[in-house]
C-alpha cells in the first residue's frame, strides 16, 4: 500500500525522531509502509522488535528500509547496556503497532521485563498505541481495563479496525489502516499550536447537474484543501471538512461532510460556521449552475442544430461567510486563476481579497506548470487584510497549507 499522500512531500518533519515498537502479529509487516513513508520525509526512525514480532519479520527487513538502530532482546551480546533508555533520550514520539494484548498488559502494569516495555516505561513523550489481536481477545474485560488504564495515563489509542481477522473470526481487532498510523505518527511529531481551535475547510469541486447523466464542474482534486484540513488536525485543531466529489482520504478524527453542488456546500458550511474559529475556503466552487433540464437524459436527436443552456448564479460561500464573521473568526480564501506571471496573479489575488473581504487570500496559477488542479505542488501569490503580500515559489501543497495556517494564526 502506498502512503504517497497529502503530507508525504512535506519538509516540516525533516530531522524529527520517532521510535517504533512492533509486537507479534500477522499485521506487523504493514509497518514497513509507515517506516518507508517516514524515512522519505527524513524522519529518523528507530525500531524495537519483540520476540513475537521476530517470528514474523526480521531486524534486517527494517534495517534495509532505513531504521536505525533496530533493537531486539534486552542485554543481548553486543547490545548497548542502556538501549532500554535510548528512545526516551532521543525520540520525540513513540508508536507501538501492532500492540498485542500482552504488550498492553505489560505497559498497563508498568512492567520492564523486555526491551519494548522497558523503553516505553522510560519514555516521557507522546505514546501512541495501535492494538491488533483476535476480536475476542480485544473484547475481553482484562484488555479493556488495560486500555482504560493506559488512556488515563495519557497514552493515545489508535483503535483497531473491524472485519475478518487472520484466524477467520469477525469483529473489531484488525490493525488500523496504515494511513491512520502514519497520520497519527505525524501528529505526535507536530507542534500543537492549534489545539482548542475549530477549523472549517471546504475542498474539492462541486458538480452542478443538468440532466440525468451530465453535470457542470471542474478538475479540482481537493488536494490543497485536504492538505489544509490535515495540517490543521496535525497541529491539534478540531477540523470539519466539507468535501465535494472525489476528495482525498482524511484522518477518521476529522469530521467529514460529503456534498455535491455549490448550494449543498454553502448550506453545510453555513450551518457549522458560527462555531468555528477559522474558515479555509479552498473548494473550487462552481460560480454558476445550468438551469436543470430534468431527471431524464437529453437526447441529441432533438437538437441537431445545437442548443442553448441558461446558467444560474450560485451562492458566494467565501464572501457570504466572511460577511457573517463573528469577533475572532478569520477567513482564508483561494483564487484559482489563469495569469501570465506571478505579478499578474498577485493583482488578481489582491482584488479578490478586497472583493470577498477575506482576511487572507491565496492565489495560484492553474495554467502554470506544476501548479493548480491535480498537481502535488503549488506556487502562490498571498495577500492579507493588512496589505502584506508574498510570492511563494513552487512547493508541496502540504507545505503551502502549513505556511498559510501559520500566517492566518498571526493575523
369 and 225 housed in the same domain = yes
225 and 172 housed in the same domain = no
Q: Which entry of 23, 167, 243, 280 is annotated as an active-site residue? A: 167
Virtual CA dihedral for 201, 203, 208, 214, nearest 10 degrees?
-150
What CATH number should be reported for the domain holding residue 384? 3.40.50.10300
Report the distance separating Cα 370 and Cα 372, nearest Å: 7
126 and 66 housed in the same domain = yes
164 and 253 housed in the same domain = no
**Domain count within the chain:** 2
255 and 144 housed in the same domain = no
For residues 103 and 40, the answer to whether their CB atoms sit within 8 Å is no
Please give the DSSP secondary-structure letter assigned to residue 284.
B
181 and 271 housed in the same domain = no
Give residue 22's domain range.
17-188
Q: Which of 354, 394, 392 is nearest to 372 (CA)?
A: 394
For residue 408, the model assigns a pLDDT of 97
| Residue 168 in grid coordinates | 477467520
Q: What is the pLDDT of residues 159-208, one digit of tens each?
A: 999 998 888 889 999 999 999 999 999 999 999 999 999 999 999 999 99
| Residue 262 in grid coordinates | 455549490
272 and 373 housed in the same domain = yes
Q: What is the pLDDT of residues 88-101, one digit of tens each?
A: 889 999 999 999 99
Answer whether residue 301 is part of any domain: no
E-strand stretches of 273-318? 278-281, 288-290, 311-313
Those residues whose C-beta lies under 8 Å from the C-beta of residue 301, and which sit 6 or more positions away, are none
pTM strictly above 0.75: yes
182 and 41 housed in the same domain = yes
Tell me the sheet residues that pair with 161.
174
For residues 361 and 337, the answer to whether their CB atoms sit within 8 Å is no
- The model's confidence at residue 375, banded by pLDDT at 50, 70 and 90, is confident
- The model's confidence at residue 5, banded by pLDDT at 50, 70 and 90, is low
Is 167 a residue of the active site? Answer: yes
At which of 164, 188, 212 does a domain end?
188
Answer whether residue 328 is part of any domain: yes
Report the distance separating Cα 255 and Cα 41, nearest Å: 27
Report the distance separating Cα 367 and Cα 345, nearest Å: 11
Q: Which of 142, 122, 120 is nearest to 133 (CA)?
A: 142
Answer whether residue 8 is part of any domain: no
Report the distance separating Cα 176 and Cα 26, nearest Å: 13
| Residue 189 in grid coordinates | 511529531
Amino acid at each position: 500500500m502506498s502512503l504517497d499522500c497529502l503530507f508525504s512531500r512535506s519538509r516540516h518533519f525533516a530531522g524529527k525522531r520517532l521510535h517504533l515498537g512492533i509486537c507479534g502479529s500477522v499485521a506487523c509487516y504493514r509497518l514497513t509502509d509507515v517506516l518507508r513513508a517516514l524515512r522519505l520525509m527524513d524522519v529518523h526512525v528507530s525500531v524495537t522488535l519483540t520476540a513475537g514480532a521476530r517470528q514474523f519479520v526480521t531486524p534486517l527487513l527494517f534495517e534495509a528500509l532505513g531504521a536505525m538502530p533496530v533493537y531486539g532482546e534486552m542485554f543481548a551480546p553486543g547490545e548497548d547496556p542502556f538501549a532500554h533508555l535510548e528512545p526516551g533520550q532521543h525520540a520525540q514520539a513513540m508508536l507501538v503497532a501492532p500492540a498485542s494484548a500482552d504488550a498492553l498488559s505489560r505497559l498497563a502494569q508498568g512492567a520492564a521485563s523486555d526491551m519494548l516495555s522497558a523503553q516505553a516505561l522510560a519514555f516521557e513523550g507522546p505514546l501512541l498505541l495501535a492494538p491488533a489481536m483476535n476480536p475476542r481477545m480485544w473484547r475481553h474485560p482484562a484488555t479493556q481495563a488495560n486500555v482504560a488504564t493506559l488512556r488515563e495515563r495519557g497514552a493515545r489509542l489508535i483503535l483497531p479496525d473491524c472485519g475478518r481477522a487472520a484466524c477467520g473470526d469477525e469483529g473489531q481487532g484488525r490493525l488500523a489502516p496504515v494511513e491512520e498510523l502514519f497520520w497519527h505518527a505525524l501528529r505526535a511529531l507536530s507542534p500543537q499550536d492549534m489545539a482548542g481551535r475549530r477549523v472549517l475547510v471546504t475542498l474539492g469541486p462541486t458538480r452542478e447537474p443538468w440532466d440525468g447523466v451530465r453535470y457542470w464542474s471542474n478538475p479540482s482534486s481537493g488536494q490543497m484543501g485536504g492538505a489544509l484540513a490535515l495540517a490543521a488536525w496535525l497541529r491539534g485543531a478540531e477540523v470539519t471538512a466539507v468535501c465535494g466529489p472525489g476528495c482525498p482520504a482524511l484522518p477518521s478524527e476529522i469530521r467529514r461532510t460529503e456534498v455535491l453542488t455549490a448550494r449543498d456546500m454553502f448550506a453545510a458550511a453555513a450551518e457549522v460556521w458560527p462555531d468555528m474559529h477559522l474558515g479555509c475556503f479552498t473548494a473550487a466552487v462552481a460560480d454558476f449552475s445550468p438551469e436543470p433540464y430534468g431527471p431524464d437524459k437529453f437526447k441529441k436527436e432533438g437538437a441537431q442544430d445545437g442548443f442553448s443552456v441558461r446558467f444560474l448564479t450560485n451562492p458566494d460561500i467565501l464572501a457570504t461567510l466572511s460577511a457573517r464573521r463573528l469577533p475572532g473568526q478569520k477567513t482564508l480564501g483561494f483564487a484559482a486563476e489563469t495569469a501570465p506571471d506571478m505579478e499578474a496573479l498577485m493583482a488578481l489575488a489582491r482584488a479578490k481579497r478586497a472583493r470577498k473581504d477575506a482576511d487572507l487570500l491565496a492565489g495560484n496559477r492553474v495554467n502554470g506548470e506544476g501548479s493548480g488542479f491535480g498537481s502535488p505542488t503549488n506556487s502562490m501569490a498571498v495577500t492579507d487584510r493588512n496589505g502584506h503580500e508574498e510570492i511563494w515559489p513552487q512547493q508541496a501543497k502540504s507545505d503551502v497549507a502549513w505556511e498559510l495556517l501559520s500566517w492566518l494564526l498571526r493575523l
